[in-house]
Chains A and B, each alone.
Chain A
Amino acid sequence: DIQMTQTPSSMPASLGERVTISCRASQGISNFLNWYQQKPDGTIKPLIYYTSNLHSGVPSKFSGSGSGTDYSLTISSLEPEDFAMYYCQQYDSYPNTFGAGTKLELK
């Protein structure tokens, strides 16, 4: 199975700040990487697919990049609704494993 190492596990940040979350795969995943946001009520919102493509309705303050084994999610200017959990998921091979998550917290 491909292991996804997501860092950091938690990140205190301020409103308006630019933040980056990283995900490293244990082997190359050919850009087959999703990013998700999860709110405290459990609602999961897909943000990005295939490394850098935004799902419909996702604001452009979210962006994704990467290749090979290393990928990242950047939020350009934090707003109150962005403080949540974020997960990466590889879908290059089964099982489609997730990172352990990053909790974005208000500093």
Chain B
Amino acid sequence: QVQLKESGPGLVQPSQTLSLTCTVAGFSLTSYNVQWVRQPPGKGLEWVGIIWNTGGTRYNSALKSRLSISKDTSKSQVFLKVNSLQTEDTATYYCARDSGYWGQGVMVTVSS
């Protein structure tokens, strides 16, 4: 059964680095791409970036300088790091696989 689950800190201070983990089950990260999408409270969906099955990455150009996506295929985990956090980074962060599988999302608040 394909599953994705995001995890990470619920509260992070401005200027710090956010680290999120997407733990997957039911498929191999060497076979499928995984993307990150975020949604600020009360707003729409924003594409953050993607890591391909090959390990290559592409990022939202507006966030690119602050983003890093990586993975550990042996642990079935994908990682998202966002540095220099701003309050505007407050959002629910989702990871999703090709072919229609999404995690439940994790809420992250950036506040002092």
Contact = CB atoms under 8 A, between A and B. Distances in A.
Per DSSP, chain B at the interface is strand
Interface string B30-69: 0000010101000011110010000000111100000000
Interface residues of B, number: 21
Contacts of B96: 44
Given A49-B100, A101-B45, A95 B60 contact: yes
B104 A42 contact: yes
Instruction: State the majority secondary structure of interface residues on A.
Output: loop
A95 B61 contact: yes
Nearest to B100: A46
A83 to B, nearest CB: 18
A3 to B, nearest CB: 13
A96 B105 contact: no
A60 interface: no
13 contacts: A38-B45, A44-B45, A44-B102, A49-B100, A55-B99, A89-B47, A95-B59, A96-B35, A98-B37, A98-B45, A98-B46, A98-B47, A101-B44
A56 B99 CA distance: 9
A55 B101 CA distance: 10
Given A42-B92, A44-B105, A56-B100, 7 more contacts: A1-B61, A42-B105, A87-B45, A95-B59, A96-B47, A98-B37, A101-B45
Contacts, number: 46
B102 A46 contact: yes
Nearest to B101: A46
Contacts of B102: 44-46
Interface in A69-106: 87, 89, 94-101
Q: Which 9 A-B pairs have the closest CB atoms?
A: A46-B100, A55-B100, A98-B45, A94-B58, A96-B47, A101-B44, A44-B102, A95-B60, A95-B47
Contacts of A101: 44-45
Contacts of A49: 99-100
B60 to A, nearest CB: 5
Contacts of A45: 102
